[in-house]
Structure 1
Amino acid sequence: MSTFLLEIVTPEHVVFSEQVSSLSVRGIEGELGILPGHIPFVTPLQVAPITIRMEGKTLAVAVHGGFVEVQGNKVIVLAESAEMPQEIDIDRALAARERAERRLNAGARDRIDHRRAELSLQRAITRINVSSRSKE
């Protein structure tokens, strides 16, 4: 089976670096599936889970913005932050989702507060989704 090297990197550390058979990410224009031999490109990422397939198993990783770069047989995800399922504190994520929803329902004071609340909600939902997928 053909594979490519996937590296997920944040400003702090390398989160993941292994050979994988496919990758699904959510770019600004929608879902992207990446297989070995994909054409080179770079695109911004949304706050969303990415799905990695390797050796017959599937792994979800919470990625909070950044870029994906495809170059030959290597794909680099340069993320603002990224969390593996075992690193996610589900209780904290649920509390963050509740806080963000309350702020949005109360009506944020200005556009900046509203956008921060939306991003906080997206990050919390991403963490919850990744954590629940790892338990299936």
Structure 2
Amino acid sequence: MTQKKLHPSVLKFKEFVKSNPKIIKEVRDGKATWQELYEDWYLLGEEDQRWDVIGTEKSTDTEPNKESKGDWMANIMGMVKKMDPNQMQTHINNLSQALGAIQGVISQFQGGNSAPGSSKPPEGPKHPFGFRKD
């Protein structure tokens, strides 16, 4: 398999990114895209203040992350306390009915019973009495 030769400016940008790993974190966090960073690097150069700002954000970001890792369980417990049990029961019942309807449709396509082990009694004639109008 042949590799494409990259443009020299792209190779220089890759070297710049390797020397500044905080840029990778910015992309992974969704704060910027590679295209945006490349364009900024190409237009502004390596000595621009933008790259220094990324470095300072990295150092100030470490403290809130430690707190947020410890607080996620407290946040979940707070949400559980705020839940209305009657509303949750209603949602669970609706979900159960929807799943039952989906199972019914699937069983119709398969031609089998709606659930294994539950057999319907044989159906009799539609009209048990054979009365006819005169």
Larger radius of gyration: 2
Instruction: Give the TM-score of the pair, scaled to structure 1.
Output: 0.26
Bigger share in helix: 2
Q: Which has the higher contact order (CA 8 A, sep 6+)?
A: 1
TM-score by length of 2: 0.27
Higher share in strand: 1
